[in-house]
Amino acid sequence: MSPTIFAANWKMHLGPAAGRDLVRAVLSRVRPAEGRTLLFFPPAVSLPVVASEVAGRKDAAAGIQNLYFEPKGAFTGEVSASLAAEAGATWALVGHSERRHRFGETAADTGKKVRAALTANLGAMLCVGELLEERQGGRTEAVVLRQLAAGLEGLDAATVARVVVAYEPVWAIGTGVNATPADAAAVHRVIRAWLRDHTPAGSRARILYGGSVNAKNAAELLAEPELDGVLVGGASLDADGWVTICQAR
Ligand code: PEP
């Protein structure tokens, strides 16, 4: 069984000094364990510091929260996959709901970003998830599979195996309302089945759940074997809470 992934998305919080302090505090309390991988997604400016803090730990890595798919050029304000790698990233988050819904990132953009990340040898974590009205309208499966297909378009089976999928229902992100373990597992099974049908490596795909995971509900969510880990925003900003979550399975 692959290690459980605990991924912290700091969003637009924690500059280099505060980021370094948090990673130090967490790593001093969460000892390396074979069954656990710790991923930190700090703001881009904090990436070099976080990368250097995790450098001595095989169980931990740093990633960029977003990237631009072009390799270089006149794209003011953007960061390419290779620049992120140079700054210490070994992972990239792609298609987070805030990128899709607040910054207008399209499904086609996510596909280009996944390919750019993998080309630069970064692991790609592709986020998918439905809006509340899509769930209420019975369209969860269709939305998630459309996002998945667009995000993975053009990848061969071996390459798809390097992508981790994060199922993050938009109505659960930052709202304090998490999906139940059973609801999350049901969508994970749909994603897994699609991956199995479309890629030979699919049955081994790692699928995380994200959306209002916290120190109180993490153990219950992670008791569901369909969850290969969690992607956490707000609750990853506090050392005590994050340490508890990272020990919840
Ligand atoms: C996220 O940002 O990916 C997320 C799941 O946020 P939160 O844990 O705050 O809901």
Structure confidence at residue 161 (pLDDT): 82
| Residues facing residue 80 across a β-bridge | 68
Asked whether 210 lines ligand 1 (CB < 6 A), one says yes
Global pTM exceeds 0.85: yes
**DSSP labels, 64-84:** ES--BSSSSSS-TT--BHHHH
Confirm or reject: Cβ of 173 under 6 Å from ligand 1. Answer: yes
pLDDT of residue 85: 98
Q: Are 153 and 163 in contact (CB under 8 A)?
A: no
Each residue's pLDDT expressed in tens, for the chain with a length of 249 residues: 789 999 999 999 999 999 999 999 999 999 999 999 999 999 999 999 999 999 999 999 999 999 999 999 999 999 999 999 999 999 999 999 999 999 999 999 999 999 999 999 999 999 999 999 999 999 999 999 999 999 999 888 788 888 999 999 999 999 999 999 999 999 999 999 999 888 766 667 899 999 999 999 999 999 999 999 999 999 999 999 999 999 999
Residue nearest to atom 2 of ligand 1 (CA): 233
- pLDDT of 202 reads 61
Task: State if residue 82 touches ligand 1 by the CB under 6 angstroms criterion.
Answer: no
Of 152, 181, 179, 180, the C-alpha closest to 165 is 152
Q: Coil, helix or strand for 188?
A: helix
d(CA 37, CA 47): 18
Catalytic entry in 53, 130, 168, 188 = 168
Evaluate the CA torsion angle 193, 198, 202, 205 in order and state its sign: negative
